Amino acid sequence: SITTIEQLITSFDDAEPSEQVGILKRIDIPVSDFAQYATWTEDGYTRNCIARRDGFEFILLCWEPGATTPIHGHGGQDCWVYQVDGSVRERRYQESNGAFETTNDMTLNAGGLC
């Protein structure tokens, strides 16, 4: 299992893209280890960079209860979410004839990966 943030970063440094999801499934890092990266705002959420490389970036998103974002995309990039603590609701949409249709509505709980 991956038990430290440093081990997670090193594992990604040495991994092929096809191996990344398997690495994320092995995360067993204590919530307290993320505290040094966490910042908060009353206006929604913060983006806190843990590590950035040419091939990947780890960002700790810290959300206030009830915070939302507008519908947005990720520019064709692979994106995974590992829920460190709490839970988050995500709705995925597809544009069709100038309107957005919900394609997935899920709640991700602590320890979950999507």
Q: Which residues pair with 113 in a beta bridge?
A: 82
Spatial separation of the C-alpha atoms in residues 99 and 22, rounded to whole Å? 35
pTM of the model: 0.86
Q: pLDDT digit of tens for each residue in the chain (114 aa)?
A: 999 999 999 999 999 989 999 999 999 999 999 999 999 998 889 999 999 999 899 999 999 998 988 888 877 777 889 999 999 999 999 999 999 999 999 999 999 999
In the block, which residue shows the tokens 């991700």?
108
Distances from the Cα of 40 to the Cα of 3, 36, 50, angstroms: 24, 12, 15
